[in-house]
Chains A and B, each alone.
Chain A
Amino acid sequence: MIAAAVYFFGAVAALATLLMLFQREPVKAAMLMLTALLATAGIYLALSAQLLAALQIILYAGAIMTLFIVALTVLPQAWRDHPEKKPFLKVLGLAAAAIILTELVKVSAVLKTVLRSTDFSETGALALAQQLFGRFAFQFELLSLVILASIVAAVALAAKRRPA
Protein backbone atom coordinates (compact mmCIF):
# COMPACT_ATOMS: atom_id res chain seq x y z
CA MET A 1 0.00 0.00 0.00
CA ILE A 2 2.77 2.43 1.01
CA ALA A 3 4.85 1.33 -1.98
CA ALA A 4 1.88 1.88 -4.29
CA ALA A 5 1.42 5.41 -2.91
CA VAL A 6 5.12 6.22 -3.36
CA TYR A 7 5.10 4.95 -6.94
CA PHE A 8 1.85 6.77 -7.74
CA PHE A 9 3.11 10.12 -6.49
CA GLY A 10 6.47 9.51 -8.13
CA ALA A 11 4.75 8.83 -11.45
CA VAL A 12 2.69 12.01 -11.09
CA ALA A 13 5.84 14.04 -10.38
CA ALA A 14 7.70 12.48 -13.32
CA LEU A 15 4.76 13.03 -15.68
CA ALA A 16 4.41 16.67 -14.60
CA THR A 17 8.13 17.28 -15.17
CA LEU A 18 7.94 15.62 -18.59
CA LEU A 19 4.92 17.71 -19.61
CA MET A 20 6.72 20.81 -18.34
CA LEU A 21 9.46 20.11 -20.87
CA PHE A 22 6.99 20.39 -23.75
CA GLN A 23 4.82 23.19 -22.33
CA ARG A 24 5.21 26.46 -24.20
CA GLU A 25 3.20 28.77 -21.94
CA PRO A 26 5.34 29.88 -18.96
CA VAL A 27 2.44 30.03 -16.48
CA LYS A 28 1.21 26.58 -17.43
CA ALA A 29 4.78 25.32 -16.97
CA ALA A 30 4.75 26.89 -13.49
CA MET A 31 1.48 25.09 -12.70
CA LEU A 32 2.99 21.78 -13.83
CA MET A 33 5.96 22.49 -11.55
CA LEU A 34 3.48 23.06 -8.73
CA THR A 35 1.95 19.64 -9.49
CA ALA A 36 5.40 18.03 -9.31
CA LEU A 37 6.14 19.75 -5.98
CA LEU A 38 2.78 18.69 -4.47
CA ALA A 39 3.36 15.12 -5.67
CA THR A 40 6.71 15.26 -3.86
CA ALA A 41 4.85 16.27 -0.71
CA GLY A 42 2.72 13.15 -1.27
CA ILE A 43 5.87 11.02 -1.46
CA TYR A 44 7.05 12.48 1.85
CA LEU A 45 3.67 11.70 3.41
CA ALA A 46 3.85 8.12 2.15
CA LEU A 47 7.33 7.83 3.65
CA SER A 48 5.95 8.99 7.03
CA ALA A 49 7.76 12.31 6.97
CA GLN A 50 4.73 14.41 7.81
CA LEU A 51 6.58 17.52 8.92
CA LEU A 52 8.63 17.52 5.73
CA ALA A 53 5.45 17.18 3.66
CA ALA A 54 3.97 20.21 5.41
CA LEU A 55 7.22 22.16 4.95
CA GLN A 56 7.35 21.13 1.29
CA ILE A 57 3.87 22.55 0.71
CA ILE A 58 4.52 25.73 2.69
CA LEU A 59 8.04 26.45 1.41
CA TYR A 60 8.18 25.04 -2.10
CA ALA A 61 4.56 25.12 -3.22
CA GLY A 62 3.86 28.28 -1.24
CA ALA A 63 6.86 30.55 -1.09
CA ILE A 64 9.02 29.52 -4.04
CA MET A 65 6.09 29.12 -6.45
CA THR A 66 4.78 32.54 -5.43
CA LEU A 67 8.23 33.95 -6.17
CA PHE A 68 8.15 32.42 -9.65
CA ILE A 69 4.64 33.69 -10.37
CA VAL A 70 5.65 37.19 -9.21
CA ALA A 71 8.75 36.99 -11.42
CA LEU A 72 6.62 35.96 -14.40
CA THR A 73 4.28 38.86 -13.67
CA VAL A 74 6.86 41.62 -13.27
CA LEU A 75 9.18 40.53 -16.08
CA PRO A 76 7.60 41.39 -19.41
CA GLN A 77 10.28 39.40 -21.21
CA ALA A 78 9.16 36.23 -19.49
CA TRP A 79 5.76 36.47 -21.20
CA ARG A 80 7.38 36.53 -24.59
CA ASP A 81 9.20 33.36 -23.70
CA HIS A 82 7.73 31.06 -26.33
CA PRO A 83 10.54 28.72 -27.20
CA GLU A 84 10.92 27.99 -30.87
CA LYS A 85 9.89 24.54 -31.88
CA LYS A 86 13.10 22.58 -31.87
CA PRO A 87 12.05 18.97 -31.39
CA PHE A 88 15.58 17.86 -32.20
CA LEU A 89 16.90 19.75 -29.18
CA LYS A 90 14.30 18.18 -26.89
CA VAL A 91 15.14 14.68 -28.13
CA LEU A 92 18.82 15.43 -27.58
CA GLY A 93 18.08 16.65 -24.04
CA LEU A 94 16.00 13.57 -23.26
CA ALA A 95 18.80 11.37 -24.62
CA ALA A 96 21.27 13.14 -22.32
CA ALA A 97 18.85 12.62 -19.44
CA ALA A 98 18.57 8.93 -20.33
CA ILE A 99 22.37 8.63 -20.20
CA ILE A 100 22.49 10.41 -16.82
CA LEU A 101 19.72 8.13 -15.52
CA THR A 102 21.42 4.94 -16.76
CA GLU A 103 24.70 5.92 -15.16
CA LEU A 104 23.08 6.85 -11.84
CA VAL A 105 21.05 3.63 -11.73
CA LYS A 106 24.12 1.60 -12.61
CA VAL A 107 26.17 3.23 -9.86
CA SER A 108 23.41 2.63 -7.31
CA ALA A 109 23.16 -1.10 -8.12
CA VAL A 110 24.75 -1.84 -4.75
CA LEU A 111 21.54 -0.59 -3.15
CA LYS A 112 19.69 -3.61 -4.54
CA THR A 113 20.66 -5.59 -1.47
CA VAL A 114 19.67 -2.85 0.96
CA LEU A 115 16.05 -3.15 1.91
CA ARG A 116 14.24 -0.04 3.00
CA SER A 117 12.05 -1.26 5.82
CA THR A 118 8.40 -1.02 4.91
CA ASP A 119 7.26 -0.29 8.45
CA PHE A 120 8.20 3.34 8.23
CA SER A 121 8.75 4.81 11.62
CA GLU A 122 7.18 8.18 11.97
CA THR A 123 9.61 11.03 12.50
CA GLY A 124 7.81 13.62 14.55
CA ALA A 125 8.58 17.30 14.93
CA LEU A 126 10.28 16.61 18.25
CA ALA A 127 12.83 14.18 16.78
CA LEU A 128 13.54 16.59 13.95
CA ALA A 129 13.91 19.54 16.33
CA GLN A 130 16.31 17.54 18.50
CA GLN A 131 18.48 17.03 15.45
CA LEU A 132 18.26 20.61 14.19
CA PHE A 133 18.87 22.28 17.55
CA GLY A 134 21.14 19.61 19.01
CA ARG A 135 23.43 17.77 16.68
CA PHE A 136 23.17 20.18 13.73
CA ALA A 137 22.78 23.40 15.72
CA PHE A 138 25.91 24.97 14.23
CA GLN A 139 24.92 24.14 10.66
CA PHE A 140 21.41 25.38 11.34
CA GLU A 141 22.73 28.71 12.59
CA LEU A 142 25.04 28.94 9.58
CA LEU A 143 21.94 28.55 7.40
CA SER A 144 20.52 31.73 8.84
CA LEU A 145 23.70 33.48 7.67
CA VAL A 146 23.18 32.00 4.19
CA ILE A 147 19.64 33.32 4.10
CA LEU A 148 20.76 36.74 5.38
CA ALA A 149 23.41 36.85 2.64
CA SER A 150 20.83 35.90 0.02
CA ILE A 151 18.46 38.65 1.22
CA VAL A 152 21.25 41.25 1.04
CA ALA A 153 22.29 39.98 -2.40
CA ALA A 154 18.72 40.01 -3.72
CA VAL A 155 18.10 43.56 -2.48
CA ALA A 156 21.46 44.79 -3.80
CA LEU A 157 20.85 43.19 -7.21
CA ALA A 158 17.25 44.17 -7.74
CA ALA A 159 17.30 47.66 -6.21
CA LYS A 160 17.39 50.52 -8.68
CA ARG A 161 20.80 52.21 -8.90
CA ARG A 162 20.61 55.77 -7.65
CA PRO A 163 22.98 58.22 -9.27
CA ALA A 164 25.64 59.18 -6.73
Chain B
Amino acid sequence: MSAYNLASLAFLLFALAAAGFLTCGSLVRMLMFLELMLNAANIALVALNPLPASQAYAVMIFAIAAAEAGVGLAILITLSANFKTLQAGNIKELKG
Protein backbone atom coordinates (compact mmCIF):
# COMPACT_ATOMS: atom_id res chain seq x y z
CA MET B 1 0.00 0.00 0.00
CA SER B 2 1.73 3.15 -1.16
CA ALA B 3 1.17 6.63 0.18
CA TYR B 4 -0.18 7.48 -3.27
CA ASN B 5 -3.11 5.06 -2.88
CA LEU B 6 -3.94 6.39 0.57
CA ALA B 7 -3.79 9.97 -0.68
CA SER B 8 -6.03 9.06 -3.61
CA LEU B 9 -8.58 7.58 -1.22
CA ALA B 10 -8.66 10.78 0.82
CA PHE B 11 -8.89 12.86 -2.37
CA LEU B 12 -11.81 10.75 -3.63
CA LEU B 13 -13.73 11.33 -0.40
CA PHE B 14 -12.90 15.04 -0.53
CA ALA B 15 -14.03 15.36 -4.17
CA LEU B 16 -17.34 13.56 -3.51
CA ALA B 17 -18.05 15.79 -0.53
CA ALA B 18 -17.11 18.85 -2.59
CA ALA B 19 -19.55 17.73 -5.31
CA GLY B 20 -22.28 17.52 -2.70
CA PHE B 21 -21.38 20.93 -1.33
CA LEU B 22 -21.55 22.46 -4.80
CA THR B 23 -24.82 20.88 -5.93
CA CYS B 24 -27.16 20.78 -2.94
CA GLY B 25 -29.18 23.89 -2.29
CA SER B 26 -30.03 23.30 1.34
CA LEU B 27 -27.80 24.97 3.90
CA VAL B 28 -28.00 22.11 6.42
CA ARG B 29 -26.75 19.69 3.77
CA MET B 30 -24.01 22.07 2.75
CA LEU B 31 -22.79 22.10 6.34
CA MET B 32 -22.87 18.29 6.40
CA PHE B 33 -20.76 18.08 3.25
CA LEU B 34 -18.40 20.66 4.72
CA GLU B 35 -17.85 18.35 7.70
CA LEU B 36 -17.19 15.46 5.33
CA MET B 37 -14.60 17.54 3.47
CA LEU B 38 -12.81 18.27 6.76
CA ASN B 39 -13.05 14.57 7.54
CA ALA B 40 -11.35 13.67 4.25
CA ALA B 41 -8.56 16.14 4.96
CA ASN B 42 -8.13 14.48 8.33
CA ILE B 43 -7.82 11.05 6.70
CA ALA B 44 -5.05 12.38 4.45
CA LEU B 45 -3.27 13.82 7.48
CA VAL B 46 -3.35 10.55 9.42
CA ALA B 47 -2.74 8.22 6.47
CA LEU B 48 0.26 9.98 4.97
CA ASN B 49 2.39 10.23 8.07
CA PRO B 50 2.82 7.56 10.74
CA LEU B 51 4.33 9.99 13.26
CA PRO B 52 2.35 10.95 16.39
CA ALA B 53 2.60 14.62 15.36
CA SER B 54 0.20 14.12 12.44
CA GLN B 55 -2.30 12.50 14.77
CA ALA B 56 -1.95 15.45 17.13
CA TYR B 57 -2.89 17.71 14.22
CA ALA B 58 -5.87 15.44 13.50
CA VAL B 59 -7.07 15.85 17.09
CA MET B 60 -6.84 19.63 16.70
CA ILE B 61 -8.87 19.43 13.50
CA PHE B 62 -11.53 17.45 15.40
CA ALA B 63 -11.86 20.41 17.78
CA ILE B 64 -12.00 22.88 14.88
CA ALA B 65 -14.71 20.79 13.20
CA ALA B 66 -16.79 20.71 16.37
CA ALA B 67 -16.47 24.50 16.80
CA GLU B 68 -17.34 25.04 13.15
CA ALA B 69 -20.43 22.84 13.37
CA GLY B 70 -21.63 24.74 16.46
CA VAL B 71 -21.24 28.18 14.92
CA GLY B 72 -22.63 26.98 11.57
CA LEU B 73 -25.79 25.60 13.12
CA ALA B 74 -26.27 28.77 15.19
CA ILE B 75 -26.04 30.77 11.95
CA LEU B 76 -28.60 28.43 10.37
CA ILE B 77 -31.01 28.98 13.27
CA THR B 78 -30.66 32.75 12.88
CA LEU B 79 -31.11 32.52 9.11
CA SER B 80 -34.21 30.37 9.42
CA ALA B 81 -35.70 32.85 11.91
CA ASN B 82 -34.99 35.83 9.65
CA PHE B 83 -35.67 34.44 6.20
CA LYS B 84 -38.07 31.53 6.91
CA THR B 85 -36.12 29.41 4.48
CA LEU B 86 -32.99 27.31 4.47
CA GLN B 87 -32.53 27.10 0.71
CA ALA B 88 -29.38 28.96 -0.25
CA GLY B 89 -31.03 30.14 -3.49
CA ASN B 90 -33.86 31.88 -1.64
CA ILE B 91 -31.64 34.01 0.56
CA LYS B 92 -30.97 37.00 -1.63
CA GLU B 93 -31.33 40.10 0.50
CA LEU B 94 -28.67 41.81 2.53
CA LYS B 95 -29.46 44.14 5.38
CA GLY B 96 -27.30 47.19 5.16
Contacts and interface: CB of A to CB of B under 8 A. Distances in A.
Interface residues of A, number: 86
Contact of A90 (B7, B14, B23, B42): B23
Interface string A133-164: 00110011001001101110111011000000
Contacts, number: 223
Interface string A78-116: 100101000001101110111011001100110110111
Given A100-B15, A111-B7, A131 B52 contact: yes
14 contacts: A3-B1, A21-B23, A47-B46, A68-B73, A81-B87, A90-B23, A97-B16, A128-B52, A128-B56, A131-B52, A143-B63, A149-B67, A151-B70, A153-B71
Interface of B: 1-9, 11-20, 22-26, 28-29, 31-33, 35-36, 39, 42-43, 46-48, 50, 52-53, 55-56, 58-60, 62-71, 73-78, 80, 84-87
Interface of A: 2-3, 6-7, 10, 13-14, 17-18, 20-21, 26, 29-30, 33, 36-37, 40, 43-44, 47, 49, 51-52, 55-56, 59-60, 63-64, 67-68, 70-72, 74-78, 81, 83, 89-90, 92-94, 96-98, 100-101, 104-105, 108-109, 111-112, 114-118, 120-121, 123, 127-128, 130-132, 135-136, 139-140, 143, 146-147, 149-151, 153-155, 157-158
